[in-house]
Amino acid sequence: MKVFITGGGGFIGSHAAEFYARRGEEVVIFDNLSRFKILGRSQTPYRYNVAYLKPYRQVTYVEGDIQDLDLLMEHLHDSDIVIHAAAQTAVTASYQDPTADFAINARGTLNVLEAVRRQSNPPIVIYCSTNKVYGNKVERIPVMANQTRYEFAGKKFRQGINETFGVDLCTHSPYGCSKLSGDLYMQDYARHYDLKIGVFRQSCIYGTRQFGIEDQGWLAWFAIATHLGQPVTIYGDGKQVRDVLFIADLIAAFDAFVQKQKTPLDTVFNIGGGPENTLSPLELLEFLEDLTGKRSQIRYADWRPNDQKVYISDIRKAKESLGWSPRVSIDQGIPELLRWIRDNKKLFSEV
């Protein structure tokens, strides 16, 4: 098979590339490595994943922009699977430059869909969506607080937020709007053009080869800061709760969708660690201290706009439809992330 991955030089894309390369599939990673420019960072760490994949002879790197439809058409041609992981991923950056955020996340996604639709034999598509499509509607769910975390009050959302929760009549960040636009286009193209598309509304994905920073990839950023002895800023009170999913489990979910395409499937899946894999920033810092003997200095700042107090994915649909479930627990995944950070400490002087 030929697997075409937009954003293939990024965290999620590079793991997907490695997964299929190890299977012996032809893999094309399509990436302009613009993340360092958007976030105002050195480009060195963001070329790391492309260099990491060089030993795999099955992997070809194309430096390309998803806003270039002609180039997409040229290199996506004859693909069997398309994994669309390219995106502007930081909420704060979307507020600073909503036009660029829209161009990448909305217009770029439409270009990917058009490139897919125009193929004589359209490939299966995986779209990396986000839990941010639910906006601040999640904030209407009553919560209760204990010493280290918030929890949903009552039993209704004990399993988390499911795919029918709804995305309307609430506020979103520009990032949430642009990703929701791509999400809806994916659903619409699947129905009207009879395309095989899986929309994965991802919660907090973490793992090796993730260059987390304060604006995006909070779990990895806290782990990096702890290892380097750098301070961290907590926005709000640190009791916000998210379900977290190790990267290998996310890629397994993607592949489960691909393998199940012989039978009809719904398009949208909430994907994360579910109720069994949840953390707050305060709890993560305690866990990191237990593992490393180090604790970052904490600074507190005001709540960020549209920061949900609790978001937990209801993953029962993915379990039932895909025969998938998370395999890597927090107790396994975070130590693996820390080992990778320790072994690549020099990279993080430039993150």
- Out of 20, 134, 150, 175, the active site residue is 175
Please give the backbone phi and psi of residue 192, each rounded to the nearest 5 degrees, phi first: -80, -25
β 143-145/59-62 pair status? unpaired
Active site residue 300: no
- Alpha helices by DSSP H, listed for 229-308, are 247-259, 281-292
DSSP 8-state symbol, 172 = -
CB atoms within 10 A of CB 171: 12
Question: CA 193, CA 173: separation in Å to the nearest integer?
Answer: 30
Q: Is 238 left (phi over 0), alpha (psi -120 to 50) or beta?
A: left
Question: CA 232, CA 226: separation in Å to the nearest integer?
Answer: 8
- Give the contacts of 137 (CB within 8 A, at least 6 positions apart): 165, 166, 167, 168, 169, 170
CB 128 within 8 A of CB 66: no
Question: CA 81, CA 116: separation in Å to the nearest integer?
Answer: 10
By annotation, the residues acting in catalysis are: 175
